[in-house]
Amino acid sequence: MSLRAIVYVRDPPSLEILNQLLLPHETVYESVTTVQQGYEQINRMKVRGAPAIGIVAALTLAIDLQLKLQTFNKNPNALDSDTLNMLNSPLLLGNFIRDSLDHLNQSRPTAVNLFRTSDILWEVTSSGIKKNLGTKQIIETLVDTAVQMMNDDLIDNNNIGKYGAEFILRNGDKRICVVTHCNTGSLATSGYGTALGIIRHLHTHGNLLHAYYTETRPYNQGSRLTSYELLHDKIPSTLICDSMVSALLSSHFSFKKIDHKITAIIVGADRVAKNGDTANKIGTYQLAITAKYHNVMFIVAAPSTSIDLKIKNGRDIVIEERSEDEVVFVNGLIKQDEIEKYQIRKVRVPPEGVKVWNPSFDVTPAELITAIVTEKGVVEKEKDGKEFDLEKFLMSQ
Ligand code: MRU
C-alpha cells in the first residue's frame, strides 16, 4: 500500500497522482502532463484535501511548462506556433501562466490553499518578468517555488503533529482516545497529515489509546482513505458512522466493545477566517456542537497557509456544492469506463426521483473551537473570548 498521493520527479520531469476515487480497492497512479489534466484531477477529486490540491495545482503548471521546455530544447518543430512564441517571449509566457492559474482556481472553490498557491506563483512570475528574466529562468523559478511548497508542507505537518499532541496532552491524560473526521493524512497533503499528523504523533510517542474516525459520507474519505492510512501505520482505530459520534462521547451509554472516554475531536480545515470560523468537511460543525455539549476539546489542525485573513468570518466562505450522484450512488463519482475497467460496482441507494442536497463543507463557528494548531504554534482565544485573533498570531510569528 502506498501513502503518497503525489509523486513528482524533477528530472526527467514527471508527475503522477494517486487516483483516490479508486482507493482502497485499486492503487492506480495517473500521469499528469498538462494544466487541463491537473484541473480534472482536482475537480473530480482524484486528489483532494486542501494542502494536496494546492500542491497539485502548482506542480501541474510546473510539469506542463517543463515538458514544453523539454520539447523546445530537443525538437522545437514538434511545438505549435503559439507555444513556440510563448517560449520566446516572457510576456506571452506570463499570459499563459496567468490563464492557467485562473483555470486551476476554478477547479474547487472552498479550500484557500489553491488560491494562495496561485497568488504565490503569479508573484514569482511577475517579478521575473519585471527583472527581465528569460523564459527559461522564469520557468525554473516557478518550478523551484512549486517544489518548495511541496517540501514545506511536509515539514509543517510534522510541526503541527508535535504542537497538537503536546497541547492535547497538557490538557488531558497521558494515554488518550480521540475522534477524527474526513481524511487529513498523507493522502490529503504532501505527507504525514494535519489532524492525522497529530494522531500519528500521539501514536508514535505511546500516547494514543485509540482513534475513532467517521465514514464521512458521501465521498467516504474516512471509511476509504483514513482506514487505509490507519491500517497502514497499525494505529489502533475503529470506524464509526457519522451519526454515532454523540453516542460515543456520551457517558450515558456503556458499550461492550469500546473504551469511549474521548479527550479530543481533531479535524483539519479548508479555510480558516480571520476570526477562527473554520470551513471543513461537511459534518464538522455537528461534531463541534457535540464536543461542546460533552466538554470534549475540539481541535482544528491546519497549516497557517489555510488561514485567510481576507475573510473576516465564516459567512464569507464559499461552500462547494457537488453532484447529487455522490449521495445517491455508492461509488457515484467513478466514470463508466473506470467502473468497467476495474470492475467496481456503482449502486443506487434511494429511489429514482428523490431531491438531494450535497454541500461538501460546513463552517464551524470559532466559539466552538478550543484551539487552532498550526506549524507556527497553537492559537487559543482570550479568556472568555468567542473568537480567535489570527491576525495578531500571524503577525507575532
Ligand atoms: O472534499 P475534500 O476531501 O477535499 O475535503 C477535505 C477536508 O475537508 C479536509 O479535512 C481538509 O481539506 C484538510 S486536509 C489536511
- Each residue of 208-237: pLDDT tens digit? 999 999 999 999 999 999 999 999 999 999
Quote helix, strand, coil % in the chain, to nearest 5: 45, 15, 35
Q: What's the pLDDT tens digit per position in 315-334?
A: 999 999 999 999 999 988 88
Q: Count H helices and E strands in the chain, helices first.
A: 13, 16
Q: Which of 59, 47, 57 is nearest to 23 (CA)?
A: 47
Residue 250 CB coordination number (10 Å): 13
Write the burial class of residue 117 (CB in 10 Å: 0-12 exposed, 13-18 middle, 19+ buried): buried
Ligand 1 atom with the shortest distance to the CA of 182: 10
**Which of 280, 287, 300 to mutate to test ligand 1, by most ligand atoms within 8 A of the CB atom?**
280
156 is a catalytic site residue: no
Q: How many angstroms separate the alpha carbon of residue 53 from the centre of ligand 1?
A: 9
Residue found by looking up cell 482516545 in the block? 177
Question: If you ran DSSP here, which 8-state letter would residue 205 be given?
Answer: T
Q: Which pLDDT value is given to residue 257?
A: 58
Q: Which of 349, 361, 48, 55 is nearest to 225 (CA)?
A: 48
Task: Give the separation between CA 259 and CA 143, rounded to whole angstroms.
Answer: 48
Q: Which pLDDT value is given to residue 331?
A: 87
Strand partners, 210: 177
Mean pLDDT of 375-397: 95
Q: 3-state DSSP call for residue 281?
A: strand
Angle at 268 between CA 38 and CA 50, to 5 degrees: 15
Residue 292 CB coordination number (10 Å): 14
**Which of 48, 271, 327 to mutate to test ligand 1, by most ligand atoms within 8 A of the CB atom?**
48
Residue 299 host element (H or E): strand 297-301
User: What value of ipTM does the predicted structure carry?
Assistant: 0.99
Kindly list the protein residues whose Cβ atom lies closer than 6 A to any atom of ligand 1: 48-51, 111, 182, 184, 188-189, 194, 221, 268-270, 280-281, 360
Mean pLDDT of 24-50: 97
Residues 6+ apart with CB under 8 A from 339: 331, 345, 346
| Residue 283 pLDDT > 60 | yes
Task: Give the separation between CA 196 and CA 227, rounded to whole angstroms.
Answer: 11
Q: What's the pLDDT tens digit per position in 49-95?
A: 999 999 999 999 999 999 999 999 999 999 999 999 999 999 999 99
Mean pLDDT of the chain: 95
pTM here is 0.96
Q: How many angstroms separate the alpha carbon of residue 185 from the centre of ligand 1?
A: 9
Q: Which pLDDT value is given to residue 259?
A: 61
Q: Which pLDDT value is given to residue 44?
A: 96
Q: Which pLDDT value is given to residue 3?
A: 83
**What pLDDT band is residue 118 in, cutting at 50, 70 and 90?**
very high
| Residue 2 pLDDT > 80 | no
Contact criterion met (CB below 8 Å) for 210 and 236: yes
Q: What's the pLDDT tens digit per position in 159-214?
A: 999 999 999 999 878 899 999 999 999 999 999 999 999 999 999 999 999 999 99
Contact criterion met (CB below 8 Å) for 294 and 254: no
How many residues can be counted in the chain? Answer: 397
Q: Which pLDDT value is given to residue 144?
A: 98
- Where do the DSSP E strands lie in the chain? 6-9, 14-18, 29-31, 176-180, 208-214, 237-240, 262-267, 271-273, 278-281, 297-301, 307-308, 329-330, 347-348, 361-364, 371-374, 377-380
Q: 3-state DSSP call for residue 354?
A: coil
Residue found by looking up cell 478550543 in the block? 370
Q: Which pLDDT value is given to residue 1?
A: 45
Which range, of 23-27, 114-118, 130-134, 385-389, averages the lowest pLDDT? Answer: 23-27
Task: Give the separation between CA 147 and CA 132, rounded to whole angstroms.
Answer: 23
Q: Which pLDDT value is given to residue 252?
A: 61
Angle at 113 between CA 65 and CA 119, to 5 degrees: 55
